[in-house]
Amino acid sequence: MANVTFIPAKRQVGNNIKKAEKPKLRVAAYCRVSTDSDEQATSYDAQIEHYTEYISKNPEWVLAGIFADDGITGTNTKKRDEFNRMIDECHAGNIDMIITKSISRFARNTLDCLKYIRELKDKNIPVYFEKESINTMDSKGEVLLTIMASLAQQESQSLSQNVKMGIQYRYQQGKVQVNHNRFLGYTKDSDGNLVIEPEQAEIVKRIYREYLEGKSMDKIAAGLEADGILTGAGKERWHPSTIKKILTNEKYIGDALLQKTYTTDFLTKKRIKNNGTMPQYYVEGDHEAIIPKDIFLLVQEELARRRRVHTTENGKRRCYSCKHCFAQIVFCGECGEYYRRVHWNNRGCRSIVWRCCSRLENTGHACRSRTVNEAILEQVVVDAINQVLCQKNDFLKTH
């Protein structure tokens, strides 16, 4: 049997031993409003004021910060900078507790809500929801939280569907909504109608003109950058994709195609191109045009021509590479490849010639087609055109 020694308690005389001071709880508050309206801005300011006072009144608490996202959706956390900063502060050990107004303020996405609650729970950091009176460290807290978070997500989905229905109704009425802040060439008047911004309109006209003159999108972009012209978003850098969007945007002829993209998931807010999945609406004559319709159609034809791919007999795929009038219409009679325009220096004699691509690229293809001087090619074409004009009646009868 084990030997047990009894040690009696020592009697404390007087109050000589000071009671250890309990450290104050570092409490942070999270606030969020989902729109930028004046009414919501008032709510946003009121939440900050409320929690600053609420935490300061508790003698056992010390304010660890007010984290507030203004005009940010609660269905995901990617763009909620203050929320993510608060979570980082928790991981850094700078916060002991979080207070927020309600579950819907914290997160409208059930999975996100539970993920962060459990993450904080592992760090022994409770979250207290005032409206629902739920403390996540309570035994029943997570069950109630799951139910309430699901309801908050359902409410968000219902709101999203109502917004979609409203947008569809406006589309059917032909009401066009455009973010003019990033729309080169237009601004809005006091009534919210699109009106032309003269200086920017000239830039749009320049882009259309230069493209029809034969310039590539890269060269147009480089020219705009060299002249210090800013994009519709106020950026110095021009991308070929930006030029393409301007060249294909029907709004520059005064029309508007509605619902070019649509949201696939109300939680992620991901938008994708509408390839016929959702209905579209084309509104003609909605606003004043910058580009005449005939010029716009010529540009669309030129875009299609440059996209056209020619497959040669040896399997090579060739597309637009030159603005010259003979480009993509002169073919090699032997291998079917394009003829390409080349500045040739043959024994000190400089000239412009047209030569088969397979010979230029040294692909190993034994093409023996001759190199043609551009002057000869021009003369042959002129002779052919004159012959057709002189014998047009015979050609018309044959046709």
**pLDDT tens digits for 145-161?**
666 556 655 665 566 56
**What is the rounded average pLDDT of the residues 68-85?**
71
- Residue (of 140, 271, 290) closest to 205 by Cα position: 290
User: Which residues have C-beta within 8 Å of that of residue 333, sequence separation ≥ 6?
Assistant: 369
Distance in angstroms (rounded) separating the CA atoms of residues 86 and 109 = 18
pLDDT grade for 266, boundaries at 50, 70 and 90: very low
Asked if residue 281 belongs to a domain, the reply is yes
Asked if residue 304 belongs to a domain, the reply is no
Asked if residue 285 belongs to a domain, the reply is yes
Count of C-beta atoms within a 10 Å radius of residue 330:
16
- Residue (of 102, 104, 106, 101) closest to 116 by Cα position: 106
What pLDDT, on a 0 to 100 scale, did the predictor assign at position 326? Answer: 78
pLDDT at 337 over 90: no
Kind of pairing between the strands at 97-100 and 127-129? parallel
Q: Are residues 331 and 226 in the same domain?
A: no
Here the tokens at position 147 are 């139910």
Asked if residue 354 belongs to a domain, the reply is yes
What pLDDT, on a 0 to 100 scale, did the predictor assign at position 17? Answer: 45
Q: Give the amino acid at 137.
A: M
Q: Are residues 152 and 190 in the same domain?
A: no
Q: Are residues 112 and 216 in the same domain?
A: no
- Residue (of 79, 60, 57, 54) closest to 69 by Cα position: 79
Q: Which residue has the higher pLDDT, 396 or 294?
A: 294
> Of 266, 299, 332, which residue is a domain's last?
299
CATH code for position 252: 3.90.1750.20
Q: What is the largest CA-CA distance in the chain?
A: 132
What pLDDT, on a 0 to 100 scale, did the predictor assign at position 243? Answer: 93
Distance in angstroms (rounded) separating the CA atoms of residues 205 and 252 = 10
Q: Are residues 273 and 355 in the same domain?
A: no
What pLDDT, on a 0 to 100 scale, did the predictor assign at position 294? Answer: 92
pLDDT grade for 48, boundaries at 50, 70 and 90: confident
Mean per-residue pLDDT of the chain? 77
Here the tokens at position 223 are 């020219």
Q: Are residues 130 and 225 in the same domain?
A: no
> Of 247, 274, 299, which residue is a domain's last?
299
**Is 33 in contact with 70 (CB distance < 8 Å)?**
yes
User: Which residues have C-beta within 8 Å of that of residue 282, sequence separation ≥ 6?
Assistant: 250, 255, 256, 257, 258
**Is 252 in contact with 185 (CB distance < 8 Å)?**
yes
Helix, strand, coil fractions of the chain, as percent rounded to 5: 40, 20, 40
> Of 122, 156, 190, which residue is a domain's last?
156
Q: How many CA atoms lie within 13 A of 389 on its CB side?
A: 6
Q: Which of 264-278, 300-314, 315-329, 330-344 has the highest mean pLDDT?
A: 330-344
Q: Are residues 294 and 335 in the same domain?
A: no
Three-state DSSP state, 48: helix
Q: Are residues 45 and 148 in the same domain?
A: yes
Q: Are residues 80 and 145 in the same domain?
A: yes
Asked if residue 241 belongs to a domain, the reply is yes
Q: Are residues 256 and 228 in the same domain?
A: yes
Q: Are residues 355 and 333 in the same domain?
A: yes
Asked if residue 269 belongs to a domain, the reply is yes
**What is the rounded average pLDDT of the residues 261-267?**
57
What pLDDT, on a 0 to 100 scale, did the predictor assign at position 74? Answer: 41
Residue ranges making up the domain that contains 185: 180-299
- Rounded to a whole number of angstroms, the distance between the first and last alpha carbons of the chain is 123
pLDDT at 397 over 70: no
Q: Which of 44-48, 138-142, 214-218 has the highest mean pLDDT?
A: 214-218
Distance in angstroms (rounded) separating the CA atoms of residues 201 and 54 = 54
Q: Are residues 185 and 292 in the same domain?
A: yes
Three-state DSSP state, 201: helix
pLDDT grade for 56, boundaries at 50, 70 and 90: confident
User: Which residues have C-beta within 8 Å of that of residue 218, sequence separation ≥ 6?
Assistant: 240
In 221-360, at which residue ranges do the beta strands (DSSP E only) sit?
256-258, 261-263, 271-273, 281-283, 310-311, 317-318, 339-346, 349-356
Over residues 383-392, the pLDDT tens digits come to: 888 888 887 7
pLDDT at 251 over 70: yes
**Is 251 in contact with 282 (CB distance < 8 Å)?**
no
Distance in angstroms (rounded) separating the CA atoms of residues 6 and 29 = 51
Q: Give the amino acid at 341.
A: R
Q: Are residues 281 and 374 in the same domain?
A: no
In 42-199, at which residue ranges do the beta strands (DSSP E only) sit?
61-70, 97-100, 127-129, 134-135, 186-188, 194-196
pTM of the model: 0.49
CATH code for position 114: 3.40.50.1390
pLDDT at 322 over 70: no
Q: How many CA atoms lie within 13 A of 150 on its CB side?
A: 6
Over residues 88-133, the pLDDT tens digits come to: 999 999 999 999 888 777 776 666 777 888 888 888 898 888 888 8
Asked if residue 163 belongs to a domain, the reply is no
Q: Give the amino acid at 343.
A: H
- Residue (of 155, 139, 78, 77) closest to 113 by Cα position: 77
Q: How many domains is the chain partitioned into structurally?
A: 3
**349 DSSP β-pair partners:** 346
pLDDT at 221 over 90: yes
**Is 356 in contact with 246 (CB distance < 8 Å)?**
no
**Is 311 in contact with 323 (CB distance < 8 Å)?**
no
Over residues 184-217, the pLDDT tens digits come to: 988 888 877 788 899 999 999 999 999 988 888 8
Asked if residue 9 belongs to a domain, the reply is no
**Is 101 in contact with 130 (CB distance < 8 Å)?**
yes
Q: Which residue has the higher pLDDT, 164 or 29?
A: 29
Q: Which of 172-176, 181-185, 295-299 has the lowest mean pLDDT?
A: 172-176
**340 DSSP β-pair partners:** 355
